[in-house]
Amino acid sequence: MRILVTGGAGFIGSALIRHIIRHSSHTVLNLDKQTYAGNLDSLASVADSPRYQFSQTDVCDAAALAAQLRLFQPALVIHLAAESHVDRSIDGPADFIHTNIVGTYTLLETCRPYWQGLDPERKAAFRFHHVSTDEVYGDLDGTSELFTETTSYSPSSPYSASKASSDHLVHAWQRTYGLPTLVSNCSNNYGPFHFPEKLIPHMILNALQGRPLPVYGASDQIRDWLYVEDHARTLLEVAVHGRVGETYNIGGHNEKRNLDVVRSICAILEELVPAKPAGVDRYADLIVFVEDRPGHDRRYAIDAGKMFWELGWRPQETFDSGLHKTVRWYLENTSWWQRVLNGTYRLDRIGNQA
């Protein structure tokens, strides 16, 4: 199968491409605009594969998208290209509106004539899988409920509102035009190659440098955590075996308070890196509480029952096993995150140009 992945140089996209190249015989075209969060270093292990291609392409560029579809002739499109950092969306929402909404619209409208022009057999097999987030559902604070595929949307941030908008566009293109789409909404991902602005890598790297570990507000925010490699294999499963027009919630069954996540990181570092930076007695002493972000949701939690009953999926990693793997990866791959922190990853990007 020929699979086109948008945003394939990002955290989840690169994990998906590594999974496809290592565990299948499929061919992948990675379309990525190469914003700050796109890091081709994350694909170095598969970049030389004859089944991997890369094109620096913006999902808002209809002409470039049409050319890539025409040349590559994919049977499957998995759409991950998105701006995804909540704090950045609060400070500057315009990029989120442009990429997440206009970009998804542009990709849908480019895929529609491509799909309509396929021969009957290939047209019947084509799929468009849109990858979204549990944040579109809003806040479960004060309840014991879980997000299901029928939970009403109630986004709180510019980021989640832009992703909710893109989900609605995908569903509308399936209902109105018959484009064979699927949507998946996942919980918080973590794991190797995660950009250092995100909670878990940010805390690991700050602790190693003896810097403060900032935790928002009362530190009682609860998230459902999913190891990124579990998510990657699931995305391919949904795209290939999911039912057209359906939504699938993907969660790790790991509800954790943000403060407890940070404390767990500190405990693992105590075990693996007992020699601390100067002036630090315990890593947990670096935890500081900072002013909460505006509109901060308190609790997310996913019911992934549909994934289990329909597709037989469940995560392979527990939160403890996944977090240990993640911390070890950052300890053993200092060159990757140092190149991110000093900006050199943006100066000499590598990849096979399509």
Instruction: Please confirm, yes or no, whether 32 is among the known catalytic residues.
Output: no
Q: Characterize the bridge pairing of strands 287-290 and 213-216.
A: parallel
Does this model's pTM top 0.75? My answer is yes
What CATH number labels 2-191+226-255+297-317+337-346? Answer: 3.40.50.720
Is 114 marked active-site? Answer: no
Q: Which residues contact 321 (CB under 8 A, 6 or more apart)?
A: none
- Show the CA angle centred on residue 264, arms to residues 258 and 267, nearest 5°: 150
C-alpha closest to that of 306 among 138, 147, 80? 147
Candidates 83, 134, 224, 297; catalytic one:
134
Q: What is the DSSP string of 86-152?
A: HHHHHH-THHHIIIIIIHHHHHHHHHHHHHHTS-HHHHHH-EEEEEEEGGGG---TT----B-TTPP
Extents of the domains making up the chain: 2-191+226-255+297-317+337-346
Which of 32, 41, 83, 135 is flagged as catalytic?
A: 135
Average pLDDT of the residues in 19-32: 98
Give per-residue pLDDT as tens, 179-216.
999 999 999 999 999 999 889 999 999 999 999 999 98
Are 259 and 219 contacting, i.e. CB atoms less than 8 angstroms apart?
Answer: yes
Give catalytic status of residue 52 as yes or no. Answer: no
- The partner residues of 6 in beta bridges, in order of sequence, read 31, 79
Distance CA(344)–CA(335), nearest Å, equals 11
Report pLDDT digits (tens) over 47-104. 999 999 999 999 999 999 999 999 999 999 999 999 988 888 999 999 999 999 999 9
**Looking at 52, 105, 159, 345, which residue is catalytic?**
159
Model pLDDT, residue 352: 39
pLDDT of 353 above 80: no
